[in-house]
Structure 1
């Protein structure tokens, strides 16, 4: 089994991230057989390791343990504890299935002697078979839409102080809402949302790690879908939000996450302090490249 993950020697202390280039966030360092580490982190709104980075690291580490003809087709992650951005992260991969066409990996992400997340990834070589897909509904050209910084400026007077800081703060990803006002302030009782996304800069990573880049992107703003019918509650005021689990079904292996991808999301349920969001990801050619599912904690203070 060969590893295509780029290896770079990092210090034992957490390294400073430039906030734009996600390469060091997903560039796992091999420290032993099926053992990896990372110490450069993207902090989320709760000052913990951003969940999308956790997803991407799990994918990158698992990919490093399988042959090149195998590609991930599903990722399932449970978030167990907040990640510490000031401590190195250990990643352990267990090979739980290996055949010519299939492989499965169990990935543990560990800090301070305990697992902060557990992931399972399944790989498939791909075969000939029947084909169909969920069609992509028409959406505005992403180049004609405002980015989140522009949205924040346009709606500045209607945002609370926390929203004025949080919206558009992240520079590593470009998000273009199909309906900017509804995305930030509007209420939708059907709990739907659509937006374009891509990395702001092409990461210097092997092409085989594009699924890890897509995983990194998939957590951005996705969970806000479950809040669309409940806009009377505000982050930082009376609402705490955190991801509980996340699933990605990868349908295409030649996805370019630095090119525009359209997310069409809806939330079929919120209750008991939790909310579920499901979504489809299409590229600009109209191909369904991934399906997403996320359950989040939506705690009222």
Structure 2
């Protein structure tokens, strides 16, 4: 999967029954289904039952079982509430007759109101100053650990440029933060707001647990630690375009008991806050 068109096709589910939808999976380099894919497909299923004048403003999901890449996932939507301004949906993802994921999502009709937002760091390094994952593979591929090289070698419809690139051959403990520029590959033209929200939900599950790893990066990494998304929440604020780079910025206030918490924001390049997120993930050191 290398283009935005392929990603949209992956997220656009097939209707197989009354409020029941089905979708396939694509690996991002792990043996299980990518959590961001399940999140975004569940949002697509919910969108299919929502009036056109209401838009996703928040979601809360729990990952219950690892997804099987080889078997379609069915999404069952329950219409919990249709109020005067808000609609609520519950989505259950099922595979092998098991519930592997549940989502609660709320949709709001657009209204006028006062506003403020978090500050944006205007002095942050710009994407043109940084290497992308693809650039790193070309420049350092012969020196990278096998697992890192295999991960970077997966074809993706998104380009990532991290602000800080740790040296995998000389790991050091780092601050509990992560900042990554990202943009879609190709020309994302004429995307409606709902499609943009589904794509952003998909992307939000990338890079998020790095912030929780960083304070212990001298000893622990994705190779010697069992990881999994446990839950994921997002709040969506403003419309945006995918025609330029966007900034993902995360911090981790805590890691304890084989779990780590990350939270943060997503900004447009000109500093507009479009979404916030939070995720707790499993960080279980593997026994030797």
2:62 pairs with 1:75: no
Q: Go from structure 1 to structure 2 and tell me whether the alpha carbon gap of 1:175 and 1:63 turns closer, same or farther (over 3 Å shift).
A: same
Residue equivalent to 2:7: 22
Answer whether contact 2:28 2:156 (CA < 8 A) is retained: no
List gaps (5 residues or longer) in structure 1: 1-17
Question: How much does 1:163 deviate?
Answer: 1.4
Residue equivalent to 1:241: 227
C-alpha distance in 2 between matches for 1:184 and 1:126: 50
Q: Go from structure 1 to structure 2 and tell me whether the alpha carbon gap of 1:55 and 1:230 turns closer, same or farther (over 3 Å shift).
A: same
Residue equivalent to 1:177: 162
- Alignment counterpart, residue 250 of structure 1, candidates 236, 246, 260: 236
Residue equivalent to 1:226: 212
- Alignment counterpart, residue 208 of structure 1, candidates 176, 189, 194: 194
Q: Go from structure 1 to structure 2 and tell me whether the alpha carbon gap of 1:257 and 1:48 turns closer, same or farther (over 3 Å shift).
A: farther
Q: Secondary structure at the match of 1:222?
A: coil
Question: How much does 1:33 deviate?
Answer: 2.0
Question: How much does 1:27 deviate?
Answer: 0.8
Number of aligned residues: 281
Q: Deviations over 1:14-73 (max 9, x none)?
A: xxxx4442022101111222111112x122443111111111111111111111111111
C-alpha distance in 2 between matches for 1:184 and 1:109: 39
Q: Secondary structure at the match of 2:125?
A: coil
C-alpha distance in 2 between matches for 1:265 and 1:38: 30
2:51 pairs with 1:64: no
Q: Go from structure 1 to structure 2 and tell me whether the alpha carbon gap of 1:204 and 1:82 turns closer, same or farther (over 3 Å shift).
A: farther
C-alpha distance in 2 between matches for 1:49 and 1:278: 22
C-alpha distance in 2 between matches for 1:203 and 1:108: 31
List gaps (5 residues or longer) in structure 2: none
Q: Deviations over 1:174-217 (max 9, x none)?
A: 10112234799764543011111122243886442211110011
2:272 pairs with 1:297: no
Q: Go from structure 1 to structure 2 and tell me whether the alpha carbon gap of 1:185 and 1:97 turns closer, same or farther (over 3 Å shift).
A: farther
C-alpha distance in 2 between matches for 1:264 and 1:186: 21
2:80 pairs with 1:96: yes
C-alpha distance in 2 between matches for 1:251 and 1:34: 27
Q: Go from structure 1 to structure 2 and tell me whether the alpha carbon gap of 1:57 and 1:185 turns closer, same or farther (over 3 Å shift).
A: farther
Q: Go from structure 1 to structure 2 and tell me whether the alpha carbon gap of 1:23 and 1:102 turns closer, same or farther (over 3 Å shift).
A: same
Residue equivalent to 1:165: 150
Q: Secondary structure at the match of 2:233?
A: strand
- Alignment counterpart, residue 287 of structure 1, candidates 269, 272, 275: 272
C-alpha distance in 2 between matches for 1:49 and 1:184: 29
Question: How much does 1:168 deviate?
Answer: 5.0
Q: Go from structure 1 to structure 2 and tell me whether the alpha carbon gap of 1:282 and 1:94 turns closer, same or farther (over 3 Å shift).
A: same
The two structures have a TM-score, normalised by structure 1, of 0.86
Question: How much does 1:155 deviate?
Answer: 4.1
Answer whether contact 2:39 2:202 (CA < 8 A) is retained: yes
Q: Secondary structure at the match of 1:180?
A: coil
Residue equivalent to 1:53: 37
- Alignment counterpart, residue 269 of structure 1, candidates 246, 254, 259: 254
Give me the CA root mean square deviation: 2.2
C-alpha distance in 1 between matches for 2:95 and 2:191: 25
Q: Go from structure 1 to structure 2 and tell me whether the alpha carbon gap of 1:168 and 1:67 turns closer, same or farther (over 3 Å shift).
A: same
